[in-house]
Amino acid sequence: MATALITGASSGLGAEYARQLAARGADLVLVARDRGALDTLASELGAAHGVDVEVLAADLLDASQRAVVEERVAADERPIELLVNNAGFGLPLAFERNDIDDEVRHLRLHVEVPMRLAHAALGAMLARGHGRILNVASVAAFIPRSTYGACKGWLVSFSRWANGRYRPRGVSVTAVCPGFTHTDFHERMGLPPGVEGIPGALWLDARDVVAQSLRDASRGAAVSVPSLRYKALVALARIAPPGLAARVGARGR
């Protein structure tokens, strides 16, 4: 049975990936800082679907803790067939007012960590001749949106290149680019529900985002933009004047 490793698995999109993959019969390795939340989710999924669920409580910005996760990703025993790089957090858009050390941690978690885990996964997957990597990015990658958009833009660019290079050898790499999605992501930034200033029609359901991204990854797509409305927005963003794109990117937090 294939095994998937998911970072940021304790809540939000990460937990939804865990639920949908377990329902498909995949064994899981769940990674996040909150061991209690991981243990609860592991028990739920094991009981509901009869799959094996490992828990790795780790702060991915701590080098020694991250090394344990990298070793698990690269292990030959119970090999990882699917890596979901999902861990992340948001910051206010006012870069000039943000603490620079918070910005550095933000950059490392969104860029350095998935790069390291993808590197660890690729060696083992290429040796076996098959595997998949999903890098959870955002439509912010296509719209100027402070350092969050910049980090997600790196993930999209890397995923496009890596998919072109490694898919012929059996390993696909997909950047998942959802728009505003109903999870606890914004609440963890200290924002109560309903203050985003985003029309209800632009909010996505996490179940739909995950299901669509898994379908796209199974087809070997380099980029997955769940929902037609955001596909249209991304297309418009590519031709919009920079000033207009920046104003659009300033909506929400």
Residues assigned a catalytic role = 148
Rounded CA-CA distance 38/15 in Å is: 9
Please calculate the CA angle 13-14-20 and round it to the nearest 5 degrees: 85
Amino acid letter for position 151 = C
Rounded CA-CA distance 235/227 in Å is: 13
Please calculate the CA angle 35-100-182 and round it to the nearest 5 degrees: 50
Rounded CA-CA distance 154/71 in Å is: 24
| CA-closest candidate to residue 210, choices 2, 9, 3, 35 | 9
Query: Counting every residue, how long is the chain?
Result: 253
Task: Say how many C-beta atoms besides its own lie within 10 A of residue 84's C-beta.
Answer: 32
Q: Record the tokens describing residue 132, joined without a space.
A: 């998949």
Q: What are φ and ψ of residue 46, in 5° steps?
A: -65, -45
Q: What is the DSSP letter of 111?
A: I
Rounded CA-CA distance 133/104 in Å is: 24
Which residues, other chains included, contact 183 with Cβ-Cβ below 8 Å and sequence gap of 6+? 11, 12, 13, 16, 206
